[in-house]
Amino acid sequence: MDAGAEAWDRHLLDEDTFTENFRNDDWPSRTYLCYKPAQGPEPSRHAECYLLEQIQSWNLDPKLHYGVTCFLSWSPCAKCAQKMARFLQENSHVSLKLFASRLYTRERWDEDYKEGLRTLKRAGASIAIMTYREFEHCWKTFVLHDQEGSCFQPWPFLHKESQKFSEKLQAILQGA
């Protein structure tokens, strides 16, 4: 799912979809990626590949620098992390800031997965786990609210789960 500046076509998540897929104490089977360009999915493809195609379709001026902030329900898998790293190496005028709700675990923390995240970081991507602040921002920016003034309602263990995933991510990025 994507949303951007005022001139961009905005697709917003409904409240239930956001909660079901971004809640970091649950394990949904789909990945949602919300992004917002800082300057002017099909089921068979991973959301990260769709994002890279979208960025390429913007025909960005290579003389300018563009930052894209992404909010993912899962961190990128090994293949997507490698593709994103390659994209950043080939497009030095674009930077990515990734906030994930939880870490991708299908690969059981194998070395390919860990190396994919490290390669992505070395390529210049900022990678972090979502905290209350990012969940709230994502909610305000990318969720279609049933009622005006609808506020983000954190779940009981949001902070604990965010801290746990953040510690695991830092260990991976530091080579542990």
Find the CATH number of the domain harbouring 68: 3.40.140.10
- Residue 6 in any domain: the answer is no
DSSP state of 176: -
Choose, from 15, 20, 48, 107, the residue flagged as catalytic.
48
User: How confident is the model at residue 41, as a pLDDT?
Assistant: 44
User: How confident is the model at residue 98, as a pLDDT?
Assistant: 96
Query: Is-catalytic flag, 48?
Result: yes
Spatial distance between the Cα atoms of 143 and 56, rounded to a whole number of angstroms:
25
2: which residues sit within 8 A by CB, 6+ positions away?
Answer: 8, 10, 11, 33, 34, 35, 51, 54
Spatial distance between the Cα atoms of 18 and 28, rounded to a whole number of angstroms:
11
Spatial distance between the Cα atoms of 61 and 174, rounded to a whole number of angstroms:
34
- Residue 5 in any domain: the answer is no
Taking only the tens place, the pLDDT of each residue in 88-136 is 999 999 999 999 999 987 655 588 889 999 999 999 999 999 999 999 9
- Residue 94 in any domain: the answer is yes
Spatial distance between the Cα atoms of 68 and 102, rounded to a whole number of angstroms:
19
Instruction: Tell me how far CA of residue 161 lies from CA of 144, 168, 174, in angstroms.
Output: 25, 11, 20
Spatial distance between the Cα atoms of 70 and 91, rounded to a whole number of angstroms:
17
Q: How many domains does the chain have?
A: 1
Spatial distance between the Cα atoms of 132 and 26, rounded to a whole number of angstroms:
16
- Residue 1 in any domain: the answer is no
Taking only the tens place, the pLDDT of each residue in 33-58 is 676 544 434 455 778 888 898 899 98
- Residue 82 in any domain: the answer is yes
- Residues 91, 79, 117: CA angle, nearest 5 degrees: 75
Most confident of 1-5, 13-17, 44-48, 54-58: 54-58
**Domain residues for 22?**
13-173
pLDDT band at 171 (very low <50, low <70, confident <90, very high): very high
